[in-house]
Chain A
Amino acid sequence: MSNRIKKIKVGMASCGIAAGADELYKILEANGNGIPLEEVGCIGHCYAEPLIEVETDAGSIFYSVTDTKQATIDNIFNLGEASRFGISEIRAAKENVKITRLCGRISPTDIDEYIANGGYEALQKAQAMSSAEVIDEVKISGLRGRGGGGFPTGMKWGFMASKEADEKIIICNADEGDPGAFMDRSVMESVPHQLIEGMLIAAYATGSNKLFIYCRAEYPLAIKNLKIAIDQAYERKLNVINGKPLEIIIKEGAGAFVCGEETALIASLEGKRGMPRFRPPFPTDKGWNDFPSMINNVETFANVPVILAEGGAEYAKIGTEGSKGTKLFALAGDLENPGLIEVPMGITLAEIVFDIGGADRDSVKAVQTGGPSGGCIPVELFDTPVDYDSLKSLGAIMGSGGMIVIGQNRCMVETARYFLDFTHRESCGKCTFCRVGTKRMFETLERITAGAGEIADINFLEDMGTKVRSGSLCGLGQTAPNPVLATLCYFKDEYLSHIENRQCEALECPALVDVEIKQDKCIKCKLCIKNCPVNAVSDDFVIDNTLCTRCNSCIEVCPKDTIFRCKKGDGYYSG
């Protein structure tokens, strides 16, 4: 065969493994007659996992391998046409892959491959400049903190550089606690060296000598790859900055959302309860063990080598007036193509959700940005450009980059309840408004979704929401009411429907729906009867809504899709 296979790369980030990539790897190994296999990270197209890249003399061919039948495997080795994977043209046109250029294309744990692709050149380039010049370059680039706050990175570096102390600490915030976000996980699993390079450049620019990576313990693969990468960097003495070897320490978080807040993160690094404290003093004055400490997010650091490589001015050509560069988003929820995307700042929500995400225009209700700290933006406002300031003006935030598409069949009151359930449990308890206020708001939302709400509850939520926002010390409390206030602003009719009519239009809240079988299409297979955990389906195929727990077991199991949720009161009740 003229077109020889040189190498096969298997996407083995967490998402790939969950989709069965490790099993696929073993099968390819057994069938491959010695063709070299390589474990790589994630290229962001999670919907097509497990994904493999077959490198041939004539370029790469991607396959989305959803089964491991012999025919499928043979097809790959024969470079067949079936199950080939290509990035849709429309997505390719909208994306701008710079920061994640190497994600899923190189082995995360092979430093030589990273170097062969231009890795650590930016670090060398930086060291040939003065530290002030490096900071200027970052300032010119207009890079703003990617963790959610959006503080200008160059300015923060400038503050840090001006401090004099025996020890100066750089901390990478890799405690991606925001449910629905996985950008940092992907970067750490796929290109750990890029993060380390960014941190070393920051250390050089600010004169710091100790580096921490605070990573959540739920990311074992990220931690493993980072450890390997750090050892390799030590071996090559890349961590020797200004003649002194710098220590890079990984600290595993222990599961607390509030530790994403910088003063709480520092407390946690010191081995204490992760409680935020009043600022000032800012961490750059008094941080870890009272030494000046600078905290940046994973994605922020991952941007730094790109900025240094191409120059701040070139970097700043992409984006909007106040938000420069590209941004990673973790796209998930009700859409065709969930995954990790990298887009230029200023792209509209419609382009992200419909063009890249492939969501159906008629079935989308809203998008939630910024996770539990953000807000939902209704589909009518999807022309909004994605940048720090535009999203803020709509009551949402950019956040770290979680973006969840919410379909028409989802209840917005329930969504708000879900977020408050999360934040009220994650509140550290220090500020009364956050500790008690979020709990009262959550209880009120529970009541409304249970069909026991009153009209006064809406006023209460608005009033309490504003008070929690202004009466909390840290970002968690200040933003916790956002999901409620935003849904009250854009979807008030849903609240009113729950309260006044005791109905959930989306048929999602269990207390406000019934379940029934459409008798005309039922084939009497009895699967629903067998699977009902509470024996609510009678022998003549009628669901007794007095017994039914709305667990959806019958709906899931019905082969003819004849069982439906319906409005409360439309189903049958025995008593």
Chain B
Amino acid sequence: MSTDYSCLEQIDKNPGNLIKGLQTIQAEHSYIADEAIVATANYFSMAVVEVEGVVSFYAQFKRTQPGKFQICVCDGTACHIKGSTLMLDWISTELKIADGETDADGFFSLETAACLGCCSLAPVMSVNGKVFGNLDRKATLKILKEYRKK
């Protein structure tokens, strides 16, 4: 059964809205699947490669299904010097997934961001957009534990 990409229809067919279209699909389906690229290309009357080119250019677009809880470790300058590399390491060890991966049961996925803009609370991470600041190892693992219960 093919996936429903009717969410595109609220957007004007002008190719200038391509990024907006892809963002809408990702908001609805949480990632950009191969068939979403074909559907988008058809909608905007563009070549599939053109759409693929835009998708691969921007860091925001995900090509694989993320977990139920998306963990995003900030690796901005302030977070980096405050130990975000270690934080990534702790989470990675705890969840047994590397940066960019999703765990086997699709519960957690892990990624890094260039900056979440909360530099004064460094190091920070976000889970599904909720930002947690001033993290050490204990606080980080506690947050994971709480989400695991959900």
Asked if A204 is at the interface of the complex by the 8 Å CB criterion, the answer is no
Instruction: For A402, list chain B residues within 8 Å (CB).
Output: 77, 119
- Stretch from B1-9, B99-107, B126-134 at the A interface: B126-134
Size category of the B interface is 35 or more
Instruction: For A549, list chain B residues within 8 Å (CB).
Output: 89
Instruction: For A419, list chain B residues within 8 Å (CB).
Output: 77
- Asked if residues A218 and B115 are in contact (CB atoms below 8 Å), the reply is yes
Instruction: For B113, list chain A residues within 8 Å (CB).
Output: 218
Q: How far is the CB of A358 from chain B (nearest CB, A)?
A: 12
Asked if A17 is at the interface of the complex by the 8 Å CB criterion, the answer is yes
Asked if A285 is at the interface of the complex by the 8 Å CB criterion, the answer is no
Asked if B47 is at the interface of the complex by the 8 Å CB criterion, the answer is no
- Stretch from B16-24, B63-71, B142-150 at the A interface: B16-24
Partner among B20, B78, B115 whose Cβ is within 8 Å of the Cβ of A333: B78
Q: How far is the CB of B77 from chain A (nearest CB, A)?
A: 3
How far apart are the CA atoms of A365 and B82 in the complex, in Å?
15
Name B50-109 residues within 8 Å CB distance of A.
53-54, 57-61, 75-78, 80-83, 86, 89-90, 93
Nearest B residue to A339 via CB reads B120
- Asked if residues A15 and B78 are in contact (CB atoms below 8 Å), the reply is no
Given A268-B19, A272-B54, A418-B80: A46 and B121 interface contact (C-beta under 8 Å): yes
Q: How far is the CB of B91 from chain A (nearest CB, A)?
A: 11
How far apart are the CA atoms of A218 and B115 in the complex, in Å?
8
- Asked if residues A185 and B19 are in contact (CB atoms below 8 Å), the reply is no
Given A15-B118, A552-B137: A269 and B59 interface contact (C-beta under 8 Å): no
- Asked if residues B81 and A334 are in contact (CB atoms below 8 Å), the reply is yes
How far apart are the CA atoms of A551 and B114 in the complex, in Å?
22
Q: Is the interface of A mostly helix, strand, loop or mixed?
A: mixed
Interface string of A393-437 (1 = CB under 8 A from B): 000000000101011001000010011001000101000000000
Asked if B116 is at the interface of the complex by the 8 Å CB criterion, the answer is yes
Instruction: For A220, list chain B residues within 8 Å (CB).
Output: 129
How far apart are the CA atoms of A338 and B61 in the complex, in Å?
32
How far apart are the CA atoms of A273 and B57 in the complex, in Å?
6
Please report the total number of A residues contacting B with Cβ < 8 Å.
64
Asked if A47 is at the interface of the complex by the 8 Å CB criterion, the answer is yes
- Stretch from A172-180, A227-235, A461-469, A486-494 at the B interface: A172-180
Instruction: For B22, list chain A residues within 8 Å (CB).
Output: 254
Name A441-500 residues within 8 Å CB distance of B.
none
- Asked if residues B23 and A17 are in contact (CB atoms below 8 Å), the reply is no
Instruction: For A82, list chain B residues within 8 Å (CB).
Output: none
Nearest B residue to A22 via CB reads B130
Asked if A83 is at the interface of the complex by the 8 Å CB criterion, the answer is no
Instruction: For B19, list chain A residues within 8 Å (CB).
Output: 251-252, 254, 268, 271
B15, B18, B76, B115 interface centre (most CB from chain A within 10 Å): B115
Q: How far is the CB of B57 from chain A (nearest CB, A)?
A: 4
- Asked if residues A49 and B90 are in contact (CB atoms below 8 Å), the reply is no
- Asked if residues A332 and B119 are in contact (CB atoms below 8 Å), the reply is yes
Asked if B36 is at the interface of the complex by the 8 Å CB criterion, the answer is no
Q: How far is the CB of A418 from chain B (nearest CB, A)?
A: 5
Q: How far is the CB of A35 from chain B (nearest CB, A)?
A: 27
Instruction: For B114, list chain A residues within 8 Å (CB).
Output: 177, 179, 255, 257, 422, 426
A179, A255, A556 interface centre (most CB from chain B within 10 Å): A179
Asked if A515 is at the interface of the complex by the 8 Å CB criterion, the answer is no
How far apart are the CA atoms of A220 and B124 in the complex, in Å?
17
How far apart are the CA atoms of A178 and B91 in the complex, in Å?
25
Partner among B17, B59, B117 whose Cβ is within 8 Å of the Cβ of A254: B59
Asked if B122 is at the interface of the complex by the 8 Å CB criterion, the answer is yes
- Asked if residues B77 and A371 are in contact (CB atoms below 8 Å), the reply is yes
Q: How far is the CB of B17 from chain A (nearest CB, A)?
A: 6
Asked if A24 is at the interface of the complex by the 8 Å CB criterion, the answer is no
Nearest A residue to B14 via CB reads A271
Name A538-565 residues within 8 Å CB distance of B.
549, 551-553, 556-557
- Asked if residues B119 and A330 are in contact (CB atoms below 8 Å), the reply is yes
How far apart are the CA atoms of A407 and B58 in the complex, in Å?
33
Name A308-344 residues within 8 Å CB distance of B.
330-334, 338-340
Closest 10 CB pairs of A and B: A46-B120, A180-B77, A255-B59, A254-B58, A179-B76, A338-B120, A332-B78, A271-B18, A18-B131, A332-B119
Interface residues of A (CB under 8 A from B): 14-15, 17-19, 46-47, 49, 176-182, 185, 217-220, 251-257, 268-274, 289, 330-334, 338-340, 368, 371-372, 402, 404, 406-407, 410, 415, 418-419, 422, 426, 428, 533, 549, 551-553, 556-557
Interface residues of B (CB under 8 A from A): 14-20, 22-23, 53-54, 57-61, 75-78, 80-83, 86, 89-90, 93, 113-122, 124, 129, 131-134, 136-138
User: Mind listing 29 A-B residue pairs with CB under 8 Å?
Assistant: A18-B133, A19-B134, A46-B121, A47-B120, A176-B117, A179-B75, A179-B76, A179-B77, A179-B80, A180-B76, A180-B77, A181-B117, A185-B117, A219-B117, A252-B20, A252-B23, A254-B61, A257-B114, A270-B16, A271-B20, A272-B18, A273-B54, A331-B120, A338-B121, A368-B77, A415-B81, A418-B77, A552-B86, A557-B137
* Given A179-B75, A410-B81, 10 more pairs with CB closer than 8 A: A177-B114, A177-B115, A181-B115, A182-B117, A218-B113, A252-B19, A254-B23, A257-B114, A271-B18, A556-B137
